Amino acid sequence: MSQRRSAVTDATGDNARKVFIKTYGCQMNVYDSQRMGDALAGDGYVPTQRIEDADLVLLNTCHIREKAAEKIYSELGRIREMKAERATQGRTLTVGVTGCVAQAEGAEIIERAPVVDLVVGPQTYHRLPQALARVHSGERVVETEYAVEDKFDHLPKQAARQIRARGVTAFLTVQEGCDKFCTFCVVPYTRGAEVSRPRAAILEEARALAEAGVREVTLLGQNVNAWADGAGGLGSLLRELAEIPGLARLRYTTSHPRDMDDDLIAAHRDLRALMPYLHLPVQSGSDRILKAMNRRHTGADYLRLLDRIRAARPDIALSGDFIVGFPGESDADFEATLDLVRQVRYATAYSFKYSARPGTPGATMDGHLPEDVKTERLERLQTLLREHQVAFQESFVGREEDVLVEKAGRHPGQMIGRSPFLLPVVVPASAGAIGEIVRVRIESSLPNSLMAEGADHADRLVSAEPLRKIA
Task: Give residue 125's pLDDT.
Answer: 76
Task: Give residue 180's pLDDT.
Answer: 94
The DSSP code for 25 is S
Task: Give residue 374's pLDDT.
Answer: 97
Co-location of 10 and 80 in the same domain: yes
Question: In angstroms, rounded to a whole number, what is the distance separating the alpha carbons of residues 253 and 469?
Answer: 8
Its sign, for the CA torsion 74, 10, 136, 122, is negative
Look up residue 60 and give its amino acid: N
Look up residue 309 and give its amino acid: I
Co-location of 108 and 18 in the same domain: yes
* CATH number of the structural domain spanning residue 246: 3.30.750.210
Residue 180 lies in a domain: no
Q: Name the pTM for this structure.
A: 0.82
Residue 464 lies in a domain: no
Q: Is 17 helix (H, G, I), strand (E, B) or coil?
A: strand
Task: List Cα–Cα distances, 68 to 270, 311, 446, in angstroms.
Answer: 41, 40, 32
Residue 263 lies in a domain: yes
Per-residue pLDDT of the chain (471 residues; tens, 9 = 90+): 444 444 333 444 456 899 999 988 777 888 888 888 888 887 889 999 899 999 999 999 887 666 667 788 888 989 999 999 888 888 899 999 998 888 888 888 998 999 999 998 887 777 888 889 999 999 998 988 766 556 666 666 777 777 888 899 999 999 988 999 999 998 888 888 899 999 999 999 999 999 999 999 999 999 999 999 989 999 999 999 999 999 999 999 999 999 999 999 999 999 999 999 999 999 999 999 999 999 999 999 999 999 999 999 999 999 999 999 999 999 999 999 999 999 999 999 999 999 988 889 999 999 999 999 999 999 999 999 999 999 999 999 999 999 999 999 888 899 999 999 999 999 999 999 999 999 999 999 998 899 999 776 533 333 344 444 444
Cis peptide before 254 (omega within 30 of 0): yes
Residue 182 lies in a domain: no
Task: Give residue 102's pLDDT.
Answer: 85
Co-location of 226 and 288 in the same domain: no
132-135 contact pairs (CB < 8 A, 24+): 132/40, 132/43, 132/56, 132/94, 135/94
- Residue 188 has a CB neighbour count (10 Å cut-off) of 17
Co-location of 335 and 363 in the same domain: yes
Task: List Cα–Cα distances, 369 to 50, 325, 333, 356, 384, in angstroms.
Answer: 42, 6, 13, 11, 22
End position of a domain, from candidates 395, 416, 431: 395
Domain residue limits at 122: 3-148
DSSP 169-193: EEEEE-EE--S---TT--HHHHT-S
Co-location of 252 and 284 in the same domain: no
In tens, the pLDDT along 287-339 reads 999 999 999 999 999 999 999 999 999 999 999 999 999 999 999 999 999 99
Co-location of 413 and 322 in the same domain: no
- β-strand pairing of 437-446 with 400-408: antiparallel
Q: Is 409 helix (H, G, I), strand (E, B) or coil?
A: coil
Residue 462 lies in a domain: no
Residues 6+ apart with CB under 8 A from 70: none
Residue 469 lies in a domain: no
Task: List Cα–Cα distances, 88 to 80, 84, 92, in angstroms.
Answer: 13, 7, 10
Co-location of 379 and 295 in the same domain: yes
Question: In angstroms, rounded to a whole number, what is the distance separating the alpha carbons of residues 283 and 203?
Answer: 32
Task: Give residue 11's pLDDT.
Answer: 41
- β-strand pairing of 216-220 with 249-253: parallel
Whether 441 contacts 398, CB under 8 Å? yes
The DSSP code for 158 is P
Task: Give residue 461's pLDDT.
Answer: 38
Task: Give residue 151's pLDDT.
Answer: 60
Co-location of 14 and 135 in the same domain: yes
* CATH number of the structural domain spanning residue 18: 3.40.50.12160
Whether 346 contacts 388, CB under 8 Å? yes
Residue 189 lies in a domain: no
**CA-based R_g, the chain, Å:** 22
Co-location of 34 and 108 in the same domain: yes
Co-location of 283 and 381 in the same domain: yes
Task: Give residue 467's pLDDT.
Answer: 44
Query: What is the domain count for the chain?
Result: 4
Residue 324 lies in a domain: yes
Task: Give residue 3's pLDDT.
Answer: 47
Whether 21 contacts 47, CB under 8 Å? yes
* CATH number of the structural domain spanning residue 417: 2.40.50
Count of alpha carbons within 13 Å of 314, Cβ hemisphere only? Answer: 0
Cα angle 307, 310, 313; round to 5: 155
